[in-house]
Amino acid sequence: MEFHQLISAIERHSPDILEENGDVYFGGKVALREPNGIALVGLNPGGIGLPSIRNNLEIFLKDSGKEYYSGFIDQCWHEPEYSKYETCGLCKLSLISNGIVHLGRHQKMILKIAEVCGFDLRKTVAINAIWTQTRTAYDLRLYLRDKGFPRMEEFFRSKFFPIFQELFRECRTRLIICLGNGVSESSFSFFRAALKVAVSDVVNISTDYRDGRYFMATINGLKTLFFGIPHPSLHTLSDLGMAQLKKCKAEICI
């Protein structure tokens, strides 16, 4: 899949969201063209002051630096630089000395998962479930209400899920790691509801959500595994959860 094909899918399915402030994709273009079968899906972009989704798609399309790239290790997530697509001084120094930005808690957790499970973040599809920008899930809830949009779960199902189905088909995605595994208002819960997977079919690794949970579903004729981790900006995935995620990746043959 080329990045312009992702733009075309958005224009076909949800043209009305293009003028909203936000962002869609924070992986590399090569991850779409030469996918490794894994996707990382967050909730929505944080920060404040991003341009419109349409403008961000155009910026990304024209940026040659986004070929072999990962927002988790190549992009400064510190404010206000994050929302201006700039790089702070601390991240510039880290890029020179370490080849990656100065990582925050969220980014460190994802980097650890990639290292333990053995996949290249720069060849991994990285995208949010909802693309409008708010600082928190609570702010997103208020934003949707004020805009007259449906509640989060329905907003995702109607506006974004058809695009994800196309994306996963073209990239032959088999493992989706959801960054947040709450029973509501998380990418994990959105996919479960959109795919009509019963709550009873979700495998809880333990009674502690920090150990993760997962379910299987068929998308585009392929058995696909959705693994929900605790939101990495708040909690780390436990060693037990990490071991199960690694096992799930092996069982899905990635």
Q: For the segment 123-133, what is each residue's pLDDT rounded down to a tens digit?
A: 999 999 999 99
Predicted confidence band of residue 198 (pLDDT cuts 50, 70, 90): very high
- Is the model's pLDDT at 62 over the cut of 90? yes
d(CA 72, CA 121): 8
d(CA 17, CA 131): 9
Predicted confidence band of residue 192 (pLDDT cuts 50, 70, 90): very high
- Superfamily holding 3-251: Uracil-DNA glycosylase-like domain (3.40.470.10)
pLDDT at 155: 93
d(CA 129, CA 42): 6
Residue 126, classified by CB atoms within 10 Å of its CB into exposed (0-12), middle (13-18) or buried (19+), is buried
pLDDT at 85: 86
- Is the model's pLDDT at 188 over the cut of 80? yes
pLDDT at 222: 87
Closest by CA position to 213, among listed 185, 234, 195, 189: 189
Average pLDDT, the chain: 94
Amino acid type, 124: T
pLDDT at 146: 87
Q: What is the pLDDT of residues 40-50, one digit of tens each?
A: 999 999 888 88
Q: What is the pLDDT of residues 215-240, one digit of tens each?
A: 999 988 889 999 999 999 888 999 99
The number of beta carbons lying within 10 Å of the beta carbon of residue 220 is: 12
pLDDT at 135: 87
Q: Prior bond to 80 cis, omega within 30?
A: yes
Backbone torsions φ then ψ of 226, nearest 5 degrees: -105, 115
- Is the model's pLDDT at 25 over the cut of 80? yes
- Is the model's pLDDT at 177 over the cut of 90? yes
Is-contact 176 252, C-beta < 8 A? Answer: no
- Is the model's pLDDT at 204 over the cut of 90? yes
pLDDT at 63: 92
Q: How many residues does the chain have?
A: 254
Percent of the chain with pLDDT over 70: 100
Backbone torsions φ then ψ of 90, nearest 5 degrees: -60, -40
pLDDT at 107: 96
- Is the model's pLDDT at 253 over the cut of 80? no
